[in-house]
Structure 1
Amino acid sequence: MNPMAALGGILPLPAPANAYTPPTNPIVVIGEQFLAPYPVELKIQQKIFTLAENNFDVTDVNGSLIFKVKGKLFSIRDRRILLDAVGNPLVSLKQKILTVHRRWQVFRGESNSSDDLLFSVKKSSFLQLKTTLDVFLASNTSESVPDFRIKGGWHESGCTIYAGETIIAQMHRKHSLQTVVFDTDNFGVTACPNVDYAFIVTLVVILDEINADRSGDD
């Protein structure tokens, strides 16, 4: 599928060509249409004054909408849906309750069937001074070694996403007068070339959900 068609003719602008080294093989988890041969810069911003909590808009460097993240209205807070710019559901994010490692599962479309499971994310250990999340593809049933890993600080001002020892994306929290006054979340995300940036956005949203849930309440 042509990425331009998938995003309604809008593609994130490239960062400088020498900023990142592309992975040896493309990393595709959600879809090949979310690959680019250059670093992709995105902004994830929480929408304020919404009835459903933790809704996000994901835009490119020009402010053009790329993705939306929504929770179901009046539902419990453990379900999110990633949609494309025109509202088509891409994946569903669901937290498994009563798990000590705060496991989230991600399914294709709006499904919650095990047949449509793409990957899951959980804390690497119960007690952590610095957040580390392990990411397992659905095919990795043994989960002896994570396929990807997310590492971030206590206040989560930033995080780095790895495939093995290779950095595939980075996130940093952005602060402005609006984010201070309204306590909103505003993230800058850079996905390396040939890395599925819809996958990266989903991981950052899950990281934010897990950090917001440190009190232990589901």
Structure 2
Amino acid sequence: MMTGQGSYMAPAGGNPAVAVVGQHFMAPYPVDLNIVRKMLTISEGNFGVTDANGNIMFKVKGKLLISLRDRRILLDAAGNPILSLQQKLMGVHRRWEVYRGDSKDLKDLLFSVKKSSLLQFKTQLDVFLASNTSEHHCDFKIKGSWFERSCTIYAGNSTVIAQMHRKHSVSSIVLGKDKFAVTVYPHVDYAFIVALVVILEEINEDRSSED
């Protein structure tokens, strides 16, 4: 089911089993995650991810390099680094590369993400596993509207593996928080999905740049 650089395959049920970060981040049932983005702070740890019961599952912190958006680290609840998300500024398409742990070594590259096209009215991102060096076809695709927090993640171009939608609450508005939910389908790596959502946010918050 999984290689050193991530993979997906179709099990007997027909739905894809996705293990990009690790099989221990997979469940045989849908996983509902709540993601809270603090909009009024630039401090580290501006993303928090909880399960349906409010238990912290992941945290995201930034590395203050050239800009606040250069690098993100996905941590587990205990603060251990799971993934390093690095923005690559070379080329016409701005690209995010994701490495295992806190690494920046090419051998630890798991996948990369870029816009499907330079000009878009709706969000469309292409995701390539590290093993897909030709990039003739993407391994995963993200489509939807970030403004409405309504996006769908597909394996290939057609099989849904996760969906995102906004969660409204009075406390979220008062506290300056943007809260949205992600439903991760059974047998899908939810650490991988969280990393995609973080990159989706970064790319859409950086629209004023020429990427």
Q: With structure 1 as the length reference, what TM-score do the two structures score?
A: 0.83
Mapped pair 1:82 → 2:86:
no
Q: List runs of 5+ in structure 1 lacking aligned partners.
A: 1-21
1:177 aligns with 2:193: no
Return the alpha-carbon distance in structure 2 between the equivalents of residues 139 and 119 of structure 1: 8
Determine the structure 2 residue equivalent to 1:120. 112
Partner of 1:208: 201
RMSD of aligned residue pairs (Cα, Å)? 2.2
Hey, what's the Cα distance between the residues in 2 that align with 1:168 and 1:213? 26
Query: Which one of the candidate residues 29, 44, 61 is aligned to 2:20?
Result: 29
- TM-score normalised to structure 2 length: 0.86
Greater than 6 Å deviation, 4+ residue runs = none
Is 1:58 the counterpart of 2:49? The answer is: yes
**Alignment check: 8 A CA contact 1:136 1:143 kept:** yes
For 2:95 and 2:70, how far apart are their aligned partners in 1? 11
1:100 aligns with 2:129: no
Three-state SS of the structure 1 residue aligned to 2:18 is coil
Following superposition, the deviation at residue 72 of structure 1 comes to 2.1
Give the count of matched residue pairs.
198
Q: Percent of aligned positions with the same letter in both sequences?
A: 63
> Is contact 1:23–1:194 with CA below 8 Å preserved after alignment?
no
Q: Does 1:162 align with 2:154?
A: yes
Distance 1:108 1:47 in 2: 25
> What's the counterpart of residue 70 of structure 1?
61
| Shift in Å, 1:110 | 0.5
More strand by share: 2
Query: Which runs of 5 or more structure 2 residues have no equivalent in the other structure?
Result: 1-12
| 23 and 99 in structure 1: CA distance in 2 versus 1, 3 angstrom threshold | farther
Q: How big is the shift at 1:53?
A: 5.5
Shift of the 183–23 alpha-carbon distance from structure 1 to 2, 3 Å rule, reads farther
